Amino acid sequence: MIRRSFSVLALGCLLACAAAPFANAASADDAGTEAPAAKRSVRELYTKYEFRIPMRDGVRLFTTVYVPKDAARAYPFLMERTPYSAGTHAQGELRYGVDWMPESLGPSPEFEQAGYIFVEQDVRGRYMSEGVWQEMTPHGKAKLEKGEGRESEDMHDTVAWLLKNVPNNNGKVGILGISYPGFYTAASIIDSHPAIKAASPQAPIADLYMGDDSYHGGAFKLAGNFDFYAAFTSVRNPTPLPKTWADFEYGEADAYDFFLKRLTLSNIAAAMSDNQRELFMPNIEHDTYDAFWQSRAIGPHMKNVKAAVLTVGGWYDAEDFQGPFSIYRAIARLNPNTSNALVIGPWVHGGWARGDGARLGHVRFDAKTSEYFRREIQFPFFEQHLKGVKPATTLAPVTVFETGSNVWRSYAAWPPKPAKPRTLYFGPDGTLGWAQPSSNAGAGYDEYVADPRRPVPYIGYPATGVPKEYMVSDQRFAATRPDVLVYQSEVLEEDVTVVGDVIPKLFVSTTGTDADWVVKLIDVYPAAYPNEAPARGGRDVGPPAVNLGGFQQLVRGNPLRGKFRNSYEKPEPFVPGKVEALSYGIGDVNHTFRRGHRIMVQVQSSWFPLIDLNPQTFMRIPDAKPEDFRKATQRVYRAPGNASGLQLMVLPSN
């Protein structure tokens, strides 16, 4: 989930002159003095209206509408539905009222010049909208309590009202949003109103438990959720409060120290206020894939989608990486005749909506990827489906940026059909290769002691929150630890391009009754590699300068909480010392390991505080006490018959 750093109402529109106001709405319609077209303000070009649109159950949803003053032609609607406020951010605070105008409108300058009616709505139960807000609104809930709703029905009723009450529209509606607004975009097009012609769920949450914000591989994403829910709290509605987001005061330079001192989830939650805990605690308490999570998964409900869909995500999205793949696949499966496209670029969460997308941390992409997306993909998509403008080029079903080689690729499907599965096997003395191990593999296993009181950090520098660059962060700090296994290939003699899901296939044992298995795929740069001054700036970058010779770039990493190895609904303990097979996905990639580089795999049993600590004692972790956290010896086997490795989908070389 993303704090309100971007919305559909994000950048300025440049349109011209005079419109008639319409009935039963307050408006700001100050024309001002004539100015050069390139410098005219939103106030000069748009009339702002605020409505309370009635839903079928009588609940009214607060909706802001910006209408071009040029009434010489009709415009389509471009809409965002958000839990982060449809108000205007002005003078450092959130403001409601028609007198407050944003500095700009639209997701990019191209929309400003083309002309749209921009709409933003507080979803049910948030800010100035009435009703009851629910975390990831359950779509399939049979009986709704008073004030509850379904997002598709709220969108249907809103569209019907807008078409009838906002003049000078062309009868077509587009919707888009990032993160939580991305979820609302996807949920709004189920059984969609026929006027909705285009939808773009961007970094949509699809299933909080299965790979999005809350859990990865059954492990709770501690640092990100703590930071988010400390600021994203429930409010009595309708109300314009809170006016600003408040950052949590850790009292430590490093979240690693803050969380480790508290150790247990109960002690960590105690550091929050009652209001902060209200939305945070359900994420902890529902630690299996139970009805709470299953009812909130939107994928199974993506039926009767009539709009053309452009789903967008980022390879380095630390929050909702899985959601775009889940939404894209659900729409393809349940709506085979719907126009359905997927775009994945080298971006952090929402990174395609801001900046140029030329680099992340120390990793450069040799192109302004975000600008390219906004200009060449997003804008033509909406122009085509909302105005009938024929695009210069046909959008492929799948458009993905190939990291490593730094090129855009177009495919008919994902993963591309030419890719074939190959396994990189762990070998003796930290080797890694395509050949299965022979019988002379020494002891046949590697082992380490995992101590929950000395967990492996996920970054090599102090930080609070979750620095966005961690997904490409240098892993040399971890490679030297005795509780991290390291396997590395020989220097590559030709490029190796990996696409699709990365699947660890491990044979393991533990002296405990539970264990986390964190597997990381890493691109190791040559020792002689050109250095440059790293870009700086906030959480998007932030790491200290490094020598890029031998840089160990994280390509993909994720955990499996071992008790969920057979089922996320019914956890099972390990039998101490018993060898067991694990097979699980850690996420999709499209990465080329270049000639002269090496491929590395690291295996460890903690990734702190990105994920919570496993006490290595089989139990409900939310109930764990300090005495439950115990050391354990973990073994990873690599002998014939128990050969551990990493299955990759590899494209044939040209």
Tens-place pLDDT, residues 279-304: 999 999 999 999 999 999 999 999 99
Residue 5 has pLDDT above 90, yes or no: no
Give residue 7's pLDDT band: very low, low, confident or very high (50, 70, 90). very low
Residue 364 class from Cβ within 10 Å (0-12 exposed, 13-18 middle, 19+ buried)? Answer: middle
What is the amino acid identity at position 284?
A: I
Per-residue pLDDT, averaged over 328-349, amounts to: 98
Per-residue pLDDT, averaged over 495-516, amounts to: 98
pLDDT of amino acid 377: 98
pLDDT of amino acid 441: 55
pLDDT of amino acid 228: 95
Report DSSP state, residue 374: I
Tens-place pLDDT, residues 51-81: 999 999 999 999 999 999 999 999 999 999 9
pLDDT of amino acid 440: 63
Residue 156 Cα distances to 147, 195, 534, 537, 642, angstroms: 17, 9, 48, 41, 55
Give residue 24's pLDDT band: very low, low, confident or very high (50, 70, 90). very low
Residues 154, 145: contact at Cβ < 8 Å?
A: no
pLDDT of amino acid 89: 86
Per-residue pLDDT, averaged over 537-563, amounts to: 83
pLDDT of amino acid 243: 79
Tens-place pLDDT, residues 432-475: 999 998 876 567 999 999 999 999 999 999 999 999 999 999 99
Specify whether domain 26-218+287-411 bears CATH 3.40.50.920.
no
Percent of the chain with pLDDT over 70: 92
Instruction: Report residue 383 CA to chain centroid gap.
Output: 26
Q: Which residue has the tokens 């529902």?
A: 286
More confident position, 528 or 634: 634
Residues 321, 211: contact at Cβ < 8 Å?
A: yes
pLDDT of amino acid 1: 58
More confident position, 1 or 549: 549
More confident position, 173 or 532: 173
Residue 514 has pLDDT above 70, yes or no: yes
Residue 534 has pLDDT above 80, yes or no: no
Residues 574, 616: contact at Cβ < 8 Å?
A: no
Q: Which residue has the tokens 């919707």?
A: 175
DSSP assignments along 214-243, one per residue: SEETTEE-HHHHHHHHTT-----SS-----
How far apart are the C-alpha atoms of 369 and 374, rounded to whole Å? Answer: 9
How far apart are the C-alpha atoms of 585 and 291, rounded to whole Å? Answer: 23
How far apart are the C-alpha atoms of 568 and 54, rounded to whole Å? Answer: 40
Residue 36 has pLDDT above 60, yes or no: no
Per-residue pLDDT, averaged over 118-135, amounts to: 96
Find, among 566, 574, 565, the residue nearest to 615 by Cα. Answer: 574
Give residue 539's pLDDT band: very low, low, confident or very high (50, 70, 90). very low
Tens-place pLDDT, residues 153-172: 999 999 999 999 999 999 99
Residue 296 Cα distances to 138, 181, 234, angstroms: 5, 15, 18
**The domain 420-650 is classified under which CATH number: 2.40.30.10, 3.40.640.10, 2.60.120.260, 3.40.50.1240?**
2.60.120.260
| 331 half-sphere exposure, CB direction, 13 A CA radius | 30
| Residue environment code for 203-222, b if the CB has 16+ CB neighbours within 10 A, otherwise e | bbbbbbbbbbbbbbbbbbbb
How far apart are the C-alpha atoms of 492 and 456, rounded to whole Å? Answer: 29
Name residues whose C-beta falls within 8 Å of residue 455's C-beta, 6 or more positions apart in sequence.
Answer: 260, 606, 607, 608, 613
| Residue environment code for 385-405, b if the CB has 16+ CB neighbours within 10 A, otherwise e | bbbeeeeeeebbebbbbbbbe
More confident position, 243 or 555: 555
Average pLDDT, the chain: 91
**Token pair listed for 106:** 């639209």
Name residues whose C-beta falls within 8 Å of residue 421's C-beta, 6 or more positions apart in sequence.
Answer: 647, 648, 649, 650
Per-residue pLDDT, averaged over 397-402, amounts to: 98
Find, among 578, 574, 543, the residue nearest to 470 by Cα. Answer: 543
pLDDT of amino acid 109: 82
Residue 22 has pLDDT above 60, yes or no: no
Residue 215 has pLDDT above 90, yes or no: yes
How many CB atoms within 10 Å of residue 585?
17
pLDDT of amino acid 41: 82
pLDDT of amino acid 110: 87
pLDDT of amino acid 42: 84
Residue 558 has pLDDT above 60, yes or no: yes
**Token pair listed for 19:** 């419109």
Name residues whose C-beta falls within 8 Å of residue 550's C-beta, 6 or more positions apart in sequence.
Answer: 476, 524, 525, 526, 527, 529
Per-residue pLDDT, averaged over 258-268, amounts to: 98
DSSP assignments along 319-359, one per residue: SSSHHHHHHHHHHHHH-TTS-EEEEEES-STTGGGSS---E
**Token pair listed for 27:** 């408006």
Domain boundaries, the chain: 26-218+287-411, 420-650
Give residue 533's pLDDT band: very low, low, confident or very high (50, 70, 90). low
Residue 250 has pLDDT above 90, yes or no: yes
Residue 636 Cα distances to 104, 114, 518, 551, 583, angstroms: 55, 58, 12, 25, 13
Positions of E strands within 366-459: 398-402, 407-411, 420-426, 432-433, 445-450
Residues 224, 198: contact at Cβ < 8 Å?
A: no
Report pTM.
0.93
Enumerate helices (H) and strands (E) in the chain, giving the number of each: 13, 31
What is the amino acid identity at position 6?
A: F
